[in-house]
Amino acid sequence: MMTVDKDTFLKSDLLERYLTGLTNTQENLEVEGYIDNFPEVKEVYNVLQNKLELVAFANAEEAPVHLLGSILETLDEKPVVSLNEKPRKPWFNFGIAASVAALVFAGSSLFFYIQNQDLLNENQVIVDELYDLRSDINQNNSKLDALAQQFSQLNNPETEKYILKGNRRAKNLKTVAYINPKEKTSMIDVVSLPILPDGQEYQIWAELQDKQVNLGILSVKDRRLQQIPYTKDALGLSITIEQKGIKPNNNSTDTPVAEIELKLED
């Protein structure tokens, strides 16, 4: 009586136990019913049978010569076996059983190996995540330290605040510079910058008595408090619109769109 579908049957061990003679009468009838009714089961049965026979014969050892006489004497005492009967081969069954055990052991070893590899991979993922987390923590700590330093500079009574607003060429431009001549630090907060055409950029300058010193490029992406080089004896700050790709020097090629005078004392 077939109680489960053929796929569930093939996943069970009934077919293997049937081949090794480890099933009872009811299980034999059930297995033979599946073999007769399902070509897929019959094909698997034939494949397993052929493989087990090959393994059994390969593992068979030649019987010692001195056993031949005993075997012949035993045969004389046994009744003749009918040609229609299939003689049992206990050694063959034991060989198949041993082979099945070896296959099960090999399968188990492979399963545990795969499980171990999966565990190692999971451990490596955890290690990588911990490393990334530690890196993120270090980066965040560095950012917090930088912010703490910036706030300390902003709250320093020696820090002067200068607001640069754009002229008619850059009406919405607004930046705030924080300069401390005692600590010799300079920061700028890019509040808003009008969008420029491709190929142009904003640059900030320190105005000295006889020259200009380029302090870097301002970008709409840098709308945050950032450090700029401190320039001793600076008389003022200015922002210009320059062509991209031209290395900044001490001479601006454009008139400022924002500027302010500084009153610094050393």
Is the pLDDT higher at 201 or at 86? 201
Instruction: Give me the chain's average pLDDT, please.
Output: 76
Distances (CA, A) of 264 to 214, 221, 231, 238: 19, 29, 11, 16
Question: Quick one: what percent of the chain has pLDDT higher than 90?
Answer: 8
Q: What is the pLDDT of residue 66?
A: 52
Question: Quick one: what percent of the chain has pLDDT higher than 70?
Answer: 67
Tokens (6 digits) for 66: 């001195």
Any idea where the domains of the chain sit in the sequence? 6-114, 160-261
Note if the pTM is more than 0.85: no
Quick one: which of 206, 174, 199, 204 has its CA closest to 189?
A: 174
Q: What is the pLDDT of residue 15?
A: 83
Alpha carbon distance 138, 232 (integer Å): 34
**Does residue 185 contact residue 230 with C-beta atoms inside 8 Å?**
yes
Does pLDDT of 98 surpass 70?
no
**Does residue 156 contact residue 185 with C-beta atoms inside 8 Å?**
no
- CATH no. for 160-261: 2.60.40
Tens-digit pLDDT profile for residues 134-155: 777 877 777 666 666 666 767 6
Tens-digit pLDDT profile for residues 208-255: 888 888 888 887 665 567 888 888 888 899 999 888 877 666 666 678
Distances (CA, A) of 167 to 79, 164, 193, 207, 240: 122, 10, 12, 18, 11
Tens-digit pLDDT profile for residues 44-70: 888 888 877 766 665 555 545 554 455
Per-residue HEC secondary structure of the chain comes to CCCCCHHHHHHCCHHHHHHCCCCCHHHHHHHHHHHHHCHHHHHHHHHHHHHHHHHHHHHCCCCCCCHHHHHHHHHHHCCCCCCCCCCCCHHHHHHHHHHHHHHHHHHHHHHHHHHHHHHHHHHHHHHHHHHHHHHHHHHHHHHHHHHHHHHHHHHCCCCEEEEEECCCCCCCCEEEEEEECCCCEEEEEEEECCCCCCCEEEEEEEECCCCEEEEEEECHHHCCEEECCCCCCCCEEEEEEEECCCCCCCCCCCCCCEEEECCCCC
Q: What is the pLDDT of residue 55?
A: 63
